[in-house]
Structure 1
Amino acid sequence: MQEVSNDPLNGSTIDGRYLVVSKVAHGGMSTVYLAKDLRLGRNIALKILHPHLATDTAFITRLSREAQSAASLSHPHVVQIHDHGVGPQHAYLVFEFIDGYTLRDVINENGALSLRQALDLLDPVVEGLAAAHNAGLVHRDVKPENVLISRQGWVKIGDFGLSRAVTTSTNTGTLLGTVGYIAPELARGQGGDARSDIYSAGIMLYELLTGQQPFRAELPVAVVMSHIQDELPAPSLAVPGLPPVMDELVRYMTEKDPDHRPANGAALLEDLRHIRKTLSPAELDFGASPDGPIIPSGNQHTALTTTLEPAEHTEVITGPRSFPDATSVIAPPSFPTSVLPSSPKLYAEDPHADLYPTVALAVEKDDVAQASHADDDSSEEAPPLTKRQSALAAKERAKAAATPTKNLGPAKPKRRALLWILLVLVLGALAAGAGWFVGFGPGALATVPDVHNQSVPQAQEMLLAAGFEQIPTSEIFDEKVAAGLIVATDPSAGSSVRKFKTVTLQVSLGPVLYPVPAVTGRALDAATAALKEAQLTAGTVTEVFDEKVPAGVVLSQDPAAGKEFRAGTKINLVTSKGPKPIPVPSVAGMSEGDAIAALKAVGLVSVTAPEQVNSKTVPAGVVLSQSPDSGNLTAGGTVTLTLSKGPKMIGVPNTVGKQVGAATAELKALGFEVEVKNLLGGFFGTVRFQDPSDGQAPEGSTITLQVI
């Protein structure tokens, strides 16, 4: 439900473009408004970040980067990011406006759904995740609050980019908002990938089937520990009668070890659709309500509040279960498709007209005889004859065929003999010419000579000598034959070919050469891949220390970029090992000046601790300790020096007149050493003299007692 609020931003324009219409909701990270894009004239969802995030430069940088990546993803089941910006007063994100409700509203309204309903809602979510994973995006906050359903029935998943940026900035806040769906590896702080989204989707599927989350407790940390340690209960324990394959699917999606889950959204989508095909209608509709799922109604803009905490969901207004605007199925037309009879002629000028019967032109009875003598090759197509006209035409043709048109005269034997002689001579000449043509002339067979590795003039001369005159050339690349020489002929050498045929000389262009790409400054893996793509290969890889370039980055290459070589040529690379390690020298016991000089000599920096420490053994001003005191640092590394204040000065009590035992105990308790000297055998055990007897003395110094 849209909130009624006197928010000061209502009616204002953000960044000169987005007119704030009304406040929708308020969450831990942002305030969400329904706004209008004045430039494009459309409604949008405007998320204005809270000041503590808007002033966090590192967070804004991450948010900008993640928003740009997410905006490149365009898919019908992913809420589109249109814009983001940072101004003097506000940092904001602009999302596609979805007028509808969230999957959380559906679960709250209906509780457990039938298997068909659950799969209908999960399928587009997984399809959207598959598209995101394929584009290299991971959501990390998949939950019903982030699944939006428009009034037209579109299911979309939102908040790509924002969830990752917030996770990086404030793990605690994000954890508390999503403990019901968090993957074990994210709960352990180990980072996540596409398989973390699969785990959250599995928890969401469990909730769709049972109406409740699998792990529930009063304290969020207890829920988190359940995700890490406890096995997920089978949904059929809460809803007896579910097909066993659904227990297996939920278990597969929510394995504690990411390696045992589907690799990404595309893999899960394939499994999900395969499983659905194996289920019977009765299994799919198990537990279905006769009226279907109750769809939240009312003027809801829950689609705008995808990042709010669960306690701040948009309120659901229960409405009637009939929907006059719902999508309906249009009945098929009452006129089924029919097949038209094929035409005997497909074109105005039918190329296959000779396949059809020829129809003669005959219109009147008096024209029948003329039609019967018409030329069979006439190009004009006549109209079809009636049966009567066809019969008359056939009768006239038979009569004409039976009537002679010319009388034969007497035979002339001499003329006929002369004609036969001339015919024989012509045929003989033709046979002789043909014999010469195919035996000795241009039609004679000749063997194509071997001109491999010859120059073009040499090859042409050899072919002319063999009788070939049509000798064109063509150019081809060859790895073995030098440029300008003949690789082969077409037809090949040794073939028998008529001399008038063409013999083509294939002239070598030399080997195919590939330019060396510039790989300096790239990581070694990326450089190797670039060389492989360029048909080259990485040769010797040498590692050297470098104070400025991170380890694993290519410093130089040989040969240099731009030169051309054959495929498979090795390119030698020099990569950085990072800064050279410097062993930390021991400077304890040195004076401060000597210690600083010793560290500077090896390229390290010294820092003197502000507090000095008393020492019984180390004089004042001398280095008492250092941190680190061993190991390796890189150039410019810092070593902290702690200086001695010398021994601690302690007031000396006067013990003259006391028994030697009590005096000794008192002095040792103060940190002094005690030396006892007996006078006259020390018979009475009383301290007669003490040195020193008053004032202060260094801790650990010796007090001499003379006892009588």
Structure 2
Amino acid sequence: MSVPSTDPMIGRLIDGRYQVRSRIARGGMATVYLATDLRLERRVAIKIMHGHLADDSAFKIRFIQEARSAARLAHPNVVNVFDQGQDADMAYLVMEYLPGITLRDLLKDYGRLTPEQTLDILEAVLSGLAAAHKAGIVHRDVKPENVLLADDGRIKISDFGLARAVNNNTATGQALLGTIAYLSPELVTRGVADARSDIYALGIMTFEMLTGEQPYVGEAPMQIAYQHANDTVPVPSSKVDSIPRELDELVLWATARDPEDRPRDARVMLDQLHDVSALVRGGTQELALQSTMVLPSSRRAGANAIADAETQVFGAKLATTSPPAATLLGIHPVGTGPVGPPDSGELLGKKADKRKRRGFWLFALVILIAATLGGTGWYFGSGPGSDVMLPDFASASPEAASAKLSELGLQPELGGAFSATVAEGIVIGTDPHAGSRVPQDSPVTIIVSQGLQPITLPTLAGLTQEAASTLITDLNAAVGSIDPIFNGDVPEGTVMAASKETDGADLSAGGEYFEGLTVNLVVSLGAIPNVDGKTVAEATDILVGKNLLAISGEQTYNDTVQEGDVITAQVPEGTIREGATLVLVISRGPEPVQVPTNIIGKSWTEAKPILEATGLKLEYNGFADTPGASNFFKVATLDPGEGELVLPSEPLRIGFTA
């Protein structure tokens, strides 16, 4: 069953030149595809800006900035940029295609690296950064994801999407850029970055390569940023005892909180790295190349002195010994050299024997040449040499692969397989695989991509985020964006909704999808914490712990909440996500009551109902309430007086006169 490709870019011809073959990766600003440059007939990586960002001038400028920044660098440790342009509404960037893995992938597979491996990667990355810093470019996003390890052994730094010129290095008025785990203290506190900020990020990356973990961890990005700004990075040997002291000092130098205490740029750190590398490696490579020979302990030792000789290391030139000088001069010890003229008969016999031996060797040589020629003819005619080596047809069309196999004397057969990386209708490979040798006229299966493998997702809403992610990945799909929102009706960590990456269609109740595609999840953060009755400081701490912001709002009277405490937190309308701002309503305490006027001189019978209606605590001589006395007694004094404000908790004292 043939399944159509769900990515509209697959197979598209961009700018009349670049034929898109398959998708490589997807990022926050753009998607990277494998494409063929039809003009130069080479494979390239093409980065295409997301459509919803195309109308945002700031994003477009940043996208073009990446092209200009990287294009200014011509260095073997920086990914080359070939072209940049606009096709209709698409902004694109054409880069060097490097099949391989990232440093992040290597760390996931191996945990941590050896000091020697770390030094090799550091040298390559610092070389690329040194070229960038020399050109006045700050990378601003140094992290393992942006270090590429090619299959042919090359190490390159990529993704200058956040790069800026050194003379334009402030982030005022915009969000901090870069990954929070590698942000320098000055970027966190002041939004300022220069070449020393790249050095700090590289120091954090070095710590991670040596120990397999990042120095700072936290449940929220704000916590990690706080540690970068206020803590000192620990030495790697505190995690792994075997790490050399020289690497500890290199990490501490690169991650100093004060930029003035760090290397001023990558070239300075690279020069120091060479010295550190020599100390860590200990010169063992040079030692291994030297020759070992045995010398007697004394120049005048006799023939038996070799048994007592000492072993010493010398350079390769000294390893070759020369004949004794006496022998070179023709002087032989007694009994070992010629002592008189040789006999003539003996000389003739030796010459005859030499001619016989020469004839035998000439005959043997003729036989050997004949056998070699015959064996060569058999090997390439009907032996193993007649086999055909299969070319690599990956990313070719089935028609082109079939034609080439027929040309090589093989029998092409078509087969199919689902693929998450190769577009439908494009060749994945062959069976036997490329590079194999097969006899002529052998059948070879051309494996053609059928596109993505269909899958059926189960109901995801109501599962925990971990359970939903496991189900998705077990079906060979991918978990995309996680959108955490506050919801008091759904427990924290529970999936509220799921959707397709391709068109946003709802997958909350499961449904048909394809392997390799991404499922986006909406996950509940639980209810917003109740801060009623808390102090402002307590309420702020509680909300910040949930990644919410709190600001003080209006103050109002309240009979139950103490003055200065929070009556309630006003929640914005709509969906509430992390980072939302809640307004705290502050209590002014109970509202004061005004003492009624025109009470003085009234009889207690007339005044009492009026005063009781205020809700104030009345203090007076109870004798005034006896039968007959209420009309007899008149109000003479009020404390506080008429018209004054009194808190409900304070008494109103009443004096009478007959």
Shorter chain as denominator, the TM-score bin is: 0.3 to 0.5
- TM-score, structure 1 length as denominator? 0.39
Larger Rg: 1
Q: TM-score, normalised by structure 2?
A: 0.41
